Structure 1
């Protein structure tokens, strides 16, 4: 059976990208500089949230090490396995007491059906944010990343993301802002493809394009 490989497979020549670029000349230059972006599909919603919770306030390398240890311990990371595994065994892989509690919170909500990963795709963005942030340990940023990187929602801007704000200030420095954060000022021009703009701004950081001085694109 064919499985979708990429959640986002974005090329500057795609019609929706051209529509986005027509509304924002500086973003157009950035998109053409970077080229295509591919974001792989995340197959399991529970594992995605577990990985996100582990990664809070940790380097990518440290978080990945803990996740792999957890995977080795559990076999497959599922709500049932997490709830059935002794706390001391879970702590050995490197989970703090707080993070373990947050992961168990998600597992409990998933097991009881309050968080049904088969149905979240039918909910609108704010419904999902409210559902996820009702679980202790999950804040709005984590919920917004779930919308983007698990569900592939195309019109999400995470206003609290420091990297996204930094990249927006860099890209639009020549325009001035009137005292308003550039991300707040510009996102209205990106609808209904705000996620695409966000992905290119993050990619600008990943490629070390974002510096203290605006780059001549």
Structure 2
């Protein structure tokens, strides 16, 4: 963490200002595995609080959240937990891919980011944002920035006066090999400025 912070602060005075204004960022962490991917699917395009409430209802219903229990659940049961029909299908697809051994989540920690991405992107409902967050939070990848994340993009536009996709890409390239830490700093600024509670 210290090396990444030092590097980024030296690269960009704005990162130093974020730390001066709001302190060090929280480094999010989630366990590897099926439950985390389920939660990330539920979090797509909704608040984390809403997704968390949804997952808690699923836990209460199923007792154990696993590929087996999700795959055997009826759409009606999952709908009663507040899951949309689209996301129910995504959860089924993920479960089926694990049960059929098309992906083996326990092997991901031994693979490169791109190997993990190439496997997960084939699963309906899992896009690059979900993969980026899983790689960062669960597999501790040090050099990722989720450019599909609205908070990240809006903060870059606000702080760096950088708007075009190509220019944003070029700017973030200069933060290698610590783009994940840069992301945590951007999220830290976004949430702290708005007095919003950090929930990862």
- The answer to whether the Cα contact below 8 Å between 1:80 and 1:107 also exists between their aligned partners in 2 is yes
In the TM superposition, what are the counterparts of 1:37-186 in structure 2 within 5 Å? 37-173=25-161, 177=162, 183-186=168-171
**Structure 1 position 205 matched with structure 2 position 183:** no
- TM norm structure 2: 0.87
Larger Rg: 1
The verdict on how the C-alpha distance between 1:119 and 1:180 changes in structure 2, with shifts beyond 3 A counting, is closer
| Contiguous gaps of at least 5 residues in structure 1 | 1-9, 211-217
Say which structure, 1 or 2, has more relative contact order (CA 8 Å, 6+ apart): 2
In 2, Cα distance between equivalents of 1:178 and 1:38: 26
Identify, as 1 or 2, the structure richer in strand. 1
Range with bigger deviation, 144-153 or 16-25: 16-25
Identify, as 1 or 2, the structure richer in helix. 2
In 2, Cα distance between equivalents of 1:74 and 1:205: 36
How far did residue 202 of structure 1 move?
0.8
How far did residue 94 of structure 1 move?
1.5
What is the Cα-based RMSD across aligned positions, in Å?
2.1
| Contiguous gaps of at least 5 residues in structure 2 | 196-200
Moved >6 Å (runs of 4+): none
